[in-house]
Amino acid sequence: MTATMLGGPATQARPAPPEPTRSIVGLVSKALLLGLTVAIAIWAAFPLIENEQWTGLAVLAATTAALLYLYLTPRHIPLKYLAPGTILLILFQVFPVLYTASTAFTNFGDGHRGSKDEAVVAIQTASVTQVPGSQQYAMTVATTGDPGTGPLVFLVTDPVTRQVSAGDADGLKALDDVTVNAAGRVTAAAGYTVLNAGQASLRSAEITALAVPTPGGAIRSSGLSRAYEGRAGRAYDESCDCVRDTTTGQTWTADENIGAFVGANGERLAQGWKVTVGFSNFTRVLTDSAVAGPFVRTLIWNFGFAIASTGGTFVLGLLLAMALHSPRVRGRTAYRVLLVLPYAMPSFAMLLVWRDMFNTDFGLINNLFGTDVDWFGGSASARLAVILVQLWLGYPYMFLVATGALQAIPRELSEASRIDGASAWGGFRRITLPLLMVALTPLLISSFAFNFNNFNAIYLTTEGAPFPADNPANGATDLLITYTYRIAFGGGGAQYGYAAAISIFIFLIVAVVSAISFRRTRHLEEVHA
């Protein structure tokens, strides 16, 4: 008899819920990813150990252990999704910013790249000259990489012991697995690629410049098949912490504040070392008259360029979007495709094309209008030219985003405003534009930040020109970013520490402008909520 017939509640046997099973694919994927993580950590640990970077090694070990714990336990589900993005943010955003900031407080640059010991070796090696009785070696030029670009190595044979050694900028090390001809020259060596006469001739300047440090001086080349061990003309004296010229007796004393050896007459040796200089790079930007004036002029033009580029592209893009937003316009799709063509072109290629179009002698602009304007010869014309180029390149982006924002605004609002007696301009100014600004202001902020650091627009068009006669490092169209690039990689010698300080200024300016603009955006959202 069933439970229903007996008057009891109707019950049915329910099957037990299946036990949760894990996907085999998911487990295999997790194992592979975690194994890859451990492999990368082990690979990264070796150079850290070799360079005795114990802090970095501890951070690497702790991070790897934390990731293994996180993904091998069922807890902390939200953190499993946040961890990859956080790590990438630290690696590609936070760490570069911190490294740039730390470099800004140093004198890092040409002549100040390594340690004091490395500077001493470089000074002594550079002063090596051949003297009577200098040891002579049979030499073969080799490399550990590509014959045309790999690092050069001297394979030298001692004429007395017949011992073959490999020498580079770090010194000599003995070799065993080599083949030597009757003249004592190495014809083959394990781990090295021997350069033939043609390959060596193409790199003769590098061969001449290479000096292999030795306890008594350095080994330098004498042609492509011989080498000599010369004597250093300048030697480091630890008792006075100075470099002494062995011929004249002149000395240069170490100055730890500037990281250089300085003579009694103020002369500095070209090779120095990296030291912390505090805020001197920052104060130099603000107090040095030779730097502060060009910096302020560049900053003012930088703001003008960013505002003109962002505002001009926005106005032009919005006008075109409004014109094609009306349903009465026929062929809107074709027009939109044509208008976004500049956006589809590679910007770097178009910038080079525009540079040729503004050429004074054979440029399309002058030929088309029958003018003879030296566009890049004057400050005003060059600035106008780069703004026009940026206007042509940038308006399609604003046209696209404005078109999308206009399509998101209900047409009923415009129709209601016309019923209430508002003119077309009044409805646009009081309804359409405020709603557009709520959506587009964040994009305008990002566009301003991009144009403030728009390296390509300047460097590929004018390269910062025209330059005043008294300052070839700072041109009329230079932005802070191109000015910084020229300082860091210019022909006058790289100044990475100073360039990093200017980069910090750029970062702070953009951050302050963005913060103020985003606060204004929130105010607009509150008003139109």
| Mean pLDDT, residues 101-124 | 93
Peptide bond connecting 466 to the previous residue in cis, omega within 30 degrees of 0: yes
The region that residue 226 occupies, defined by phi over 0 for left and psi between -120 and 50 for alpha, beta otherwise, is beta
Cβ count near 339 (within 10 Å) = 19
Each residue's pLDDT tens digit, 208-267: 989 999 887 899 999 899 999 998 899 999 999 999 998 899 999 999 999 999 999 999
Structure confidence at residue 342 (pLDDT): 87
Token duo for residue 439:
């959506």
| Mean pLDDT, residues 5-33 | 64
Q: Is pLDDT of 16 > 60? A: no
Cα-based distances in Å from 256 to 260, 298, 324, 453, 501: 7, 33, 67, 35, 21
Structure confidence at residue 17 (pLDDT): 53
| Mean pLDDT, residues 310-320 | 95
- Quickly state the pLDDT bin for 345 (edges 50, 70, 90): confident
Q: Is pLDDT of 2 > 70? A: no
Helix axes 289-323 and 280-287, enclosed angle (nearest 10): 80
Whole-angstrom Cα distance, residue 117 to residue 475? 39
Each residue's pLDDT tens digit, 57-96: 999 999 999 999 999 998 888 999 999 999 999 989 899 9
Q: What is the pTM of this model?
A: 0.80
Structure confidence at residue 529 (pLDDT): 54
Strand order in the sheet with 234-237: 234-237, 242-245, 251-255, 260-263
Structure confidence at residue 343 (pLDDT): 85
| Mean pLDDT, residues 343-367 | 91
Each residue's pLDDT tens digit, 172-218: 999 989 999 988 899 999 999 999 999 999 999 999 989 999 887 89
Q: Is pLDDT of 525 > 60? A: no
Whole-angstrom Cα distance, residue 194 to residue 349? 41
Q: Is pLDDT of 9 > 70? A: no
Q: Is pLDDT of 368 > 60? A: yes
Structure confidence at residue 7 (pLDDT): 47
Name which residue leads in pLDDT, 491 or 473. Answer: 473
- Quickly state the pLDDT bin for 27 (edges 50, 70, 90): confident
User: Are residues 433 and 321 in contact, defined by beta-carbon separation less than 8 angstroms?
Assistant: no
| Mean pLDDT, residues 139-156 | 94
Q: Which of 379, 388, 304 has the alpha carbon at shortest distance from 351? A: 388
| Mean pLDDT, residues 133-158 | 92
CATH 1.10.3720.10 boundaries in the chain: 289-527
Right CATH number for 26-103 from 1.10.3470, 2.40.10, 1.20.58, 3.30.1490? 1.20.58
Structure confidence at residue 299 (pLDDT): 94
Structure confidence at residue 434 (pLDDT): 87
CATH 1.20.58 boundaries in the chain: 26-103
Each residue's pLDDT tens digit, 434-462: 889 888 988 999 999 999 999 999 999 99
CATH code, residues 289-527: 1.10.3720.10
Token duo for residue 503:
């980069």
